[in-house]
Amino acid sequence: MKKDDGDLMDKTTQTLPSNELFITSVRLTIMILLFNHKKINFTELQKLLKLTPGNLDHHLKRLEGANYVKTYKKLSSLRRPLTLVEITPYGKKSFKEYITNLRDVLNNIVLSSEK
């Protein structure tokens, strides 16, 4: 990596909008997936993120606490109980705002580096 690129990356890291809940890749992944798919099976999420049920539950509880997601149980078409995680309208709006802010900051940094 060139020195300029490194400086730009440091600058980016310092100025990016920080949302405490999205600072880990686990919660970021959950939010991006839910943003795209609206709801996801708990077990699939657990396998994808390679987490224990308790660990995933901890992350989900934090997102639930902020009213970003909700979890509920449902019977599948094969009559098996499923736990589903769904994004709330507030969660969707908040995540969209976060992404928009992120884009603005990145754009500003790129513009300032070009000057």
Partner 1 sequence: MSIIEEFDKAFQLVDRYEEYKLFRAWGIIFVITGVARFLLGFIIWNLFYLIYTSMNNNFNSGALMIAVFNSVVSFILIFSLAVIMIYTYLSIRKTTIKDGKLISSKILYSGIALAILYFLTFILQIPGSVYWEEVIAIFICYFILKRGLKSDFKEILYLGVILFVVSIVEFIGRVFLVLYFLYQPLFTPLWIIFYLMIGFVFMIPYIITGLRIFRKGSLILEEG
* Interface positions with partner 1 (CB under 8 A): 9, 12-13, 16, 18, 22-25, 28-29, 32-33, 35-37, 44, 47-50, 96, 99-100, 102-104
Query: Judged by CB, which is closer to partner 1: 71, or 101?
Result: 101
Query: Judged by CB, which is closer to partner 1: 16, or 82?
Result: 16
Integer-rounded Cα radius of gyration of the chain: 18
Which one, of 111, 106, 107, 114, lies nearest residue 12 by Cα? 106
Residue 3: C-alpha distances to residues 6, 7, 30, 44, 47 (Å): 5, 6, 33, 41, 38
Query: Judged by CB, which is closer to partner 1: 36, or 75?
Result: 36
Q: How far is the CB of 64 from partner 1 (least distance, A)?
A: 19
